[in-house]
A and B are shown apart, each in its own frame.
Chain A
Amino acid sequence: GENVEQHPSTLSVQEGDSAVIKCTYSDSASNYFPWYKQELGKGPQLIIDIRSNVGEKKDQRIAVTLNKTAKHFSLHITETQPEDSAVYFCAASTGRKYIFGTGTRLKVLA
């Protein structure tokens, strides 16, 4: 069945450093790739997304890249801050079903 693998499961970085989270998907029909941030006790919130006709997208300190041939996409957070600490989920969607990765717990150390 459809599957999204996400790595690493935990990531600790020093404040100001960059963080990179990687995902791989299996369904070649996927054409939409959102990233969600989940803080403790809350629901996931969209932070950035990318569609299959785009290779890279940037929004301030956050960027996402997509390699459709390799079925890889990545989240890059630069100049990390303590408030970036949370669990991050990638997802791949065909427009019908959204399959989520297993999550990355990011800790930004002050």
Chain B
Amino acid sequence: NAGVMQNPRHLVRRRGQEARLRCSPMKGHSHVYWYRQLPEEGLKFMVYLQKENIIDESGMPKERFSAEFPKEGPSILRIQQVVRGDSAAYFCASSPGQGNTGELFFGEGSRLTVL
């Protein structure tokens, strides 16, 4: 009964490179959320997706960031041309579905360090 799986757990990139973070939701969950957490800060909403659909991306920076959740495979958060300010922990959470107001299950996070 695997939980939400995120990889890589740690990622180091140089400025200008691309970072790809992957998230496999819990079995049976069709909705995925991505949050960013800066050191000593809270969880900032980035994007909410369901399979093949972006439901709400109001928290995503307009440039360099994109997210997808394809019909098959994990959800991916992609950051192009990373800058030092992108260094943070990125958490993925999943839920069974919209309208089912219930628990979000979080992964252990991917910690991005930009040199």
| B residues contacting the other copy or chain, number (CB 8 A) | 25
Whether the pair A96, B55 counts as a contact (CB closer than 8 A) is yes
> For the side of the interface on A, what is the size category?
20 to 34
Q: Which residues of A are interface residues toward B (Cβ below 8 A)?
A: 6, 31-32, 34, 36, 42-46, 49, 51, 89, 93-103
Interface: B69 (CB within 8 A): no
Least Cβ distance of B39 to chain A in Å?
11
Q: Identify 11 residue pairs between A and B in the complex whose beta-carbon atoms are under 8 Å apart, listed by A's number.
A: A96-B48, A96-B98, A97-B45, A98-B33, A98-B45, A98-B104, A100-B44, A100-B45, A101-B42, A102-B42, A103-B43
Taking CB atoms, residues of chain A closer than 8 Å to B108 are 42-43
Least Cβ distance of B110 to chain A in Å?
10
Interface: B1 (CB within 8 A): no
